[in-house]
């Protein structure tokens, strides 16, 4: 339960942290400290499913429906929009949803002990578990359909999945992560949620050299000293040292230098951290404004979104008491940025600022139209050469294209997305062309798009991410090849067990071949019907026992 005090055995807050926060917060210190010794708040963002009704009569019911705290006072703010094609929230999930999170549609608080991470529906990408304050950064960027969007520090991918929801499959989405292990987790999460993104494993500096001025909107969810995670993650307390904020601030500024280069004139940048220290927050934004001439744009006042502190932007020496009210630095527009405090709102500690890059005339316009010119792509001049690695994608030969489309016709029914008909080849894998004109050559690319199939011994084999790219039964392209699993059978499937071809646990399907396995239209993965049984093609690395049906 969210207000229970934490166990006394957990590590204490670092003393130097306590001292500095006490100096900054003054009279508020006691409330702040008290909040940090309570449990963190938990949240969930629905992805393939919806609990927000398009019409009042169709409303899915959830226990917290009557108590949305910001509904009355924020009715004019950019509130929920429903995504067409989302499925109704299953009862097994609905029972755990509590109050809506005001700043993101179809996002909810949940109890501390809600087992949503262990339900089979989690493996279908029906939702993403995310702490409520962490949903604020993507809300602040307010991505529009068709935009070119970059998530520069993306792993494990929570915010990328929110940005993708706003794009709805339009535009271009690049998720970058510098860390080679973390980029794999990012890949798994995006695949589970069926997100068509280009995933790169690069330093921001190298991306900036390759893609200058390309993006309409960039999220820099910066690596930080993590003070805002102290109550969610006790390890964050032990990892912190008094030097952490300054070390992180230097790294954040390098990342921001690159982000500004990547942004088109007039484009938007959200900078966010999960820490309290002004050196990583107001002072970094003040530095950014002075160095690159960006303008800080106002953000909404959602419940618990406090104005940032212009009076903390002036460069405080360790132990220095900030001068309240008057503003040390003259960056009055820093109050447009927001601080989410654990003792004032319902979430963990975060900082978010929305900035705009001036256009070519030096002004910061409010236009959102059009991206910058794409840099030249040497790969596109390379013709139909088959290079190694997915960062060099080539068109299929005429013959291979014919074979692919014949196989695709056999696998599917009905009209297909253009991207499926004309995939690109990267090594032996066929990917949807998610990057468009964005040149990928010379970059470390984990996935250039959705991997639909692998070419093996002159044949095609469907690949797991393709199964996850589809939601729903109406108009389902795999219409002749469906296998319905009930939640109990899905527990077996995700654990890697072979499924009987037609048993009394709800598994039904066609007689032969590749089969799209699902739970009420939520994707699970591929199976292959062979000699009266169904081979389980769920990837070995993702298999998980002990999942729950409810």
Ligand X SMILES: C[S@@+](CC[C@H](N)C(=O)[O-])C[C@H]1O[C@@H](n2cnc3c(N)ncnc32)[C@H](O)[C@@H]1O
Which positions touch ligand X (CB under 6 A)? 134, 153-159, 177-179, 182, 204, 221, 223, 251, 255
Sequential DSSP letters for 487-499: HHHHHHHHHT--E
d(CA 328, CA 541): 53
Least CB distance to ligand X at residue 205 (A) = 8
In the complex with ligand X, which residue's Cβ is closer, 222 or 438?
222
In the complex with ligand X, which residue's Cβ is closer, 145 or 180?
180
Tell which residue, 108, 350, 372, 138, has the closest CA to residue 231.
Answer: 350
Residues 6+ apart with CB under 8 A from 514: 411, 462, 481, 526, 527, 528, 537
In the complex with ligand X, which residue's Cβ is closer, 177 or 520?
177
d(CA 197, CA 149): 10
Least CB distance to ligand X at residue 251 (A) = 5
Least CB distance to ligand X at residue 337 (A) = 17
In the complex with ligand X, which residue's Cβ is closer, 207 or 534?
207
Least CB distance to ligand X at residue 288 (A) = 16
Helix, strand or coil for residue 430?
strand
Measured CA distances, 391 to 35, 68, 89, 446, 497 (Å): 47, 46, 38, 8, 35
- Has 517 been labeled as part of a binding site? no
Handedness of CA 63, 69, 71, 76 (dihedral sign): negative
Least CB distance to ligand X at residue 164 (A) = 12
- Has 153 been labeled as part of a binding site? yes
- Has 155 been labeled as part of a binding site? yes
CA 157 to chain centre: 4
Question: Would you state the torsion angle of the CA atoms of residues 421, 426, 427, 430, taken in this order, to the nearest 10 degrees?
Answer: -20
Q: Are 334 and 296 in contact (CB under 8 A)?
A: yes
d(CA 149, CA 195): 13
Q: What is the DSSP letter of 135?
A: G
In the complex with ligand X, which residue's Cβ is closer, 241 or 512?
241
- Has 105 been labeled as part of a binding site? no
d(CA 157, CA 133): 15
In the complex with ligand X, which residue's Cβ is closer, 138 or 483?
138
The strand pair at 445-447 and 198-200 is best described as: antiparallel
Tell which residue, 95, 132, 126, has the closest CA to residue 113.
Answer: 95
Angle at alpha carbon of residue 103, lines to 336 and 369, rounded to 5°: 65
- Has 282 been labeled as part of a binding site? no
Helix (H) or strand (E) run with residue 356 in it: strand 350-356
Burial of 535 (0-12, 13-18, 19+ CB in 10 A): middle
- Has 159 been labeled as part of a binding site? yes
In the complex with ligand X, which residue's Cβ is closer, 157 or 213?
157
d(CA 311, CA 122): 44
In the complex with ligand X, which residue's Cβ is closer, 351 or 478?
351
Handedness of CA 52, 46, 370, 285 (dihedral sign): positive
Q: Which of 224, 274, 451, 491 is catalytic?
A: 274
Least CB distance to ligand X at residue 9 (A) = 27
491 is catalytic: no
- Has 221 been labeled as part of a binding site? yes
Least CB distance to ligand X at residue 232 (A) = 13
- Has 154 been labeled as part of a binding site? yes
Size of the chain, expressed as the number of residues it contains: 550
Least CB distance to ligand X at residue 393 (A) = 25
Binding residues: 153-159, 177, 221
Binding residues for S-adenosyl-L-methionine: 153-159, 177, 221
Active site residues: 274
């Amino acid at each position: 339960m969210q207000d229970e005090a934490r166990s006394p055995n957990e590590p204490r807050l670092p003393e130097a942290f306590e001292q500095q926060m006490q100096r900054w917060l003054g009279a508020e210190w006691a409330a702040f400290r008290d909040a940090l010794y309570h449990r963190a708040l938990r949240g969930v963002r629905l992805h393939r499913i919806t609990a927000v009704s398009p019409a009042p009569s169709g409303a899915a019911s959830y226990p917290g429906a009557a108590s949305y705290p910001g509904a009355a006072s924020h009715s004019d703010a950019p509130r929920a929009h429903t995504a067409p094609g989302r499925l109704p929230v299953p009862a097994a999930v609905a029972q755990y949803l509590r109050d809506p999170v005001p700043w993101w549609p179809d996002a909810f608080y949940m109890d501390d002990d809600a087992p949503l991470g262990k339900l089979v529906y989690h493996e279908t990408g029906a939702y993403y578990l995310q702490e409520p304050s962490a949903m604020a950064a993507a809300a602040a960027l307010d991505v529009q359909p068709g935009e070119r969007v970059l998530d520069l520090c993306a792993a494990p991918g929570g915010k990328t999945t929110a940005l993708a929801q706003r794009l709805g499959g339009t535009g271009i989405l690049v998720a970058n992560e510098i860390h080679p292990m973390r980029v794999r987790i990012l890949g798994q999460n995006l695949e589970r949620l069926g997100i068509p993104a280009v995933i790169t494993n690069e330093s921001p500096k190298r991306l900036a050299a390759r893609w200058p001025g390309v993006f309409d909107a960039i999220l820099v969810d910066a690596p930080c000293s993590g003070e805002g995670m102290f109550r969610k993650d006790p390890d964050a307390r032990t990892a912190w040292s008094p030097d952490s904020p300054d070390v992180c601030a230097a790294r954040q500024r390098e990342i921001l230098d690159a982000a500004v280069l990547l942004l088109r004139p007039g484009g938007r940048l959200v900078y966010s951290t999960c820490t309290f220290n002004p050196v990583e927050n107001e002072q970094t934004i003040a530095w950014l404004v002075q160095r690159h001439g960006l303008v800080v744009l106002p953000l909404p006042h959602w419940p618990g979104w406090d104005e940032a502190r212009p009076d903390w932007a002036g460069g405080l020496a360790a132990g220095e008491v900030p001068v309240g009210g008057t503003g040390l630095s003259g960056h009055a527009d820093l109050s447009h940025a927001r601080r989410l405090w654990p003792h004032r709102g319902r979430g963990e500690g975060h900082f978010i600022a929305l900035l705009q890059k001036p256009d070519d005339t030096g002004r910061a316009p409010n236009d959102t139209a059009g991206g910058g010119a794409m840099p030249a792509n040497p790969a596109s001049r390379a013709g139909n050469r088959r290079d190694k690695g997915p960062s060099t994608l080539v068109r299929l030969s005429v013959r291979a294209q014919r074979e692919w489309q014949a196989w695709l016709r056999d696998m599917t029914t009905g009209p297909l997305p253009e991207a499926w008909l004309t995939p690109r080849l990267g090594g032996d894998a066929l990917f949807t062309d998610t990057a468009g004109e964005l040149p990928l050559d010379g970059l470390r690319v984990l996935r250039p798009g959705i991997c639909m199939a692998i070419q093996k011994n002159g044949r095609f084999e469907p690949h797991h991410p393709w199964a996850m790219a589809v939601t729903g039964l109406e108009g389902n392209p795999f219409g002749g090849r469906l296998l319905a699993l009930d939640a109990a059978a899905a527990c077996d499937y995700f654990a890697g067990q072979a499924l009987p071809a037609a048993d009394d646990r709800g598994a039904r399907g066609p007689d032969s071949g590749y089969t799209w396995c699902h739970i009420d239209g939520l994707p699970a993965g591929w199976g292959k019907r062979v000699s009266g049984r169904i081979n389980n093609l769920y990837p070995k690395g993702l298999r998980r026992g002990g999942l729950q049906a409810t």
